[in-house]
Amino acid sequence: MTATKHKYDRIPYLVVYEDKSAFKDTYAGEIDKVALSCQLLKPKDSPSKTVVIWSHPIGGGSYLPMMAALAKSGVHTIYCDTRYRGVDTALIMEKVICDLGAVVRDAKERLGYEKVVLGGWSGGGSMSLFYQSEAEQPSVTSTPAGDPPDLTTRGFIPADAVMLVAAHHARHVTFTEWLDPSVTDENDPENRDVELDIYDPRNPNQPPYSAEYLKRFRQAQIDRNRRITKWVKDKLATYKAAGQTNREYGFVVHRTMADPKWLDPTIDPNGRKPNWCFLGDPEVVNDSPVGLARFCSLRSWLSQWSYDDARADGVKCAAKISVPVLVVGNTADDGITPEHTKRLYEAVSHDDKELVWIQDANHYFFGQQEKAVEAAETCANWLQKHGM
């Protein structure tokens, strides 16, 4: 199957559906209407009744090298953007998987595919696992803020398999691992604990970090996340007590790229280079506008970033699903280190699972077209082995 390099058509289309909301939480479009931008990469000479649907909470992956490589391998591939394409300021994970559910239904009922496989790259991994767990065992009746949607009423169509590529545990887990614990006052981020500021040369703790220091550092990251969560819950409670049920509040989370593993490659080692992360120089990213959770709303924080409240937890959700799972890790990933890949694989509670490593590959296969092809062929062969 993978020896032939197939030509393919890239077909853009929209999935539009109605989704009632108490207030408008995305900029574009009519309230209560959701329009999802999708692309079908359809091999010209390789008919199939199976399609792989890839998505990500904030999308943007339709032109990643692997999407084209999959189509060239003969795999029918859909990339769909959620309603939050390009911005996660007000993103609600429960609504994200409603969007994915609409695309899955459209692929089966309108496009005519008999089998659907979920493809989860990076943050799309925990998203896909959250969807599949709610499709198989629906349990979530509201967002962490107590708002709709009730996922148990959505009638999600379960996928027939899940493929994870360079996926991490969850947005809230990864974010907390990156959160800078040196910030002692959210209103004055320049006021910092020197011993927890890994970018401050005055910090007596330098790479390679001791196990004792890392334990203290990780706990301080969780503590900061929980302080923000408490503030968020208190603010929402104050609004609701005043009868302002739908009121929101935007805020900034400063310094969010301070994982010691970027400076110390002996932590969860792989082939990544030191003093670097997938967004660039981590010290620069720590204050950059592109940092995770830089701009937030109250409800989005609870649904997307809260260490204790967010539900799109890949490890927990993987344990609930029954379909075959392929996990692909990149050994030089500069975003997701091996512990994430291994934990997702180990979390799958059945035996129809496989773990494959792409040697020397970075997070996006940027500048590594041959690695994208290798990963695509790995996926294509696995699908063929499973009759899909």
Contact between residue 186 and residue 231 where contact means Cβ atoms under 8 Å apart: yes
What ranges do the domains of the chain cover?
8-170+310-385, 174-305
Cα(388)–Cα(385) distance, rounded to whole angstroms? Answer: 7
Contact between residue 115 and residue 50 where contact means Cβ atoms under 8 Å apart: yes
Strand, coil or helix: 353: strand
Provide the 8-state DSSP code for 192.
B
Angstrom distances, CA of residue 126 to CA of 1, 129, 131: 29, 5, 9
Q: What is the pLDDT of residues 119-175, one digit of tens each?
A: 999 999 999 999 999 999 999 999 999 999 999 999 999 999 999 999 999 999 999
Q: How many CA atoms lie within 13 A of 371 on its CB side?
A: 22
The whole-number pLDDT of residue 61 equals 87
Q: Which pair of tokens denotes residue 9?
A: 């058509």
Contact between residue 355 and residue 329 where contact means Cβ atoms under 8 Å apart: yes
At residue 3 the predicted structure's pLDDT band, cuts being 50, 70 and 90, is: low
Q: What is the mean pLDDT of the chain?
A: 95
Total-model pTM: 0.95
Measured in whole angstroms, how far is the alpha carbon of residue 70 from the centre of its chain?
Answer: 20
In this prediction, residues 168-192 reach a mean pLDDT of 96
Cα(275)–Cα(9) distance, rounded to whole angstroms? Answer: 40
What percentage of the chain has pLDDT greater than the value 90? 90
Residue positions counted in the chain: 388
In this prediction, residues 300-319 reach a mean pLDDT of 98
In this prediction, residues 33-49 reach a mean pLDDT of 95
Cα(128)–Cα(375) distance, rounded to whole angstroms? Answer: 18
The whole-number pLDDT of residue 59 equals 85
Cα(132)–Cα(363) distance, rounded to whole angstroms? Answer: 24
Measured in whole angstroms, how far is the alpha carbon of residue 30 from the centre of its chain?
Answer: 26
In this prediction, residues 309-316 reach a mean pLDDT of 97
Cα(246)–Cα(258) distance, rounded to whole angstroms? Answer: 34
pLDDT of 2 over the 50 cut? no
Residue carrying structure tokens 């029954």:
322
pLDDT of 1 over the 50 cut? no
The alpha carbon torsion through 64, 67, 69, 74 (nearest 10 deg) reads -170
Contact between residue 82 and residue 37 where contact means Cβ atoms under 8 Å apart: no
At residue 30 the predicted structure's pLDDT band, cuts being 50, 70 and 90, is: confident
The whole-number pLDDT of residue 24 equals 80
At residue 315 the predicted structure's pLDDT band, cuts being 50, 70 and 90, is: very high
309-325 burial, b at 16+ Cβ within 10 Å, e below that, comes to bbbbbbbbbbebbebbb
Strands 295-297, 250-252: pairing is antiparallel
pLDDT of 104 over the 90 cut? yes
pLDDT of 324 over the 60 cut? yes
Q: Which pair of tokens denotes residue 311?
A: 């539900």
At residue 31 the predicted structure's pLDDT band, cuts being 50, 70 and 90, is: confident
Residue carrying structure tokens 């994870």:
164
What is the CATH code of the structural domain delimited by 8-170+310-385?
Answer: 3.40.50.1820
In this prediction, residues 15-32 reach a mean pLDDT of 86
Q: What is the pLDDT of residues 190-208, one digit of tens each?
A: 999 999 999 999 999 999 9
Cβ partners under 8 Å of residue 283, min gap 6: 199
pLDDT of 235 over the 80 cut? yes
Q: What is the pLDDT of residues 244-292, one digit of tens each?
A: 999 999 999 999 999 999 999 999 999 999 999 989 999 999 999 999 9
pLDDT of 4 over the 90 cut? no
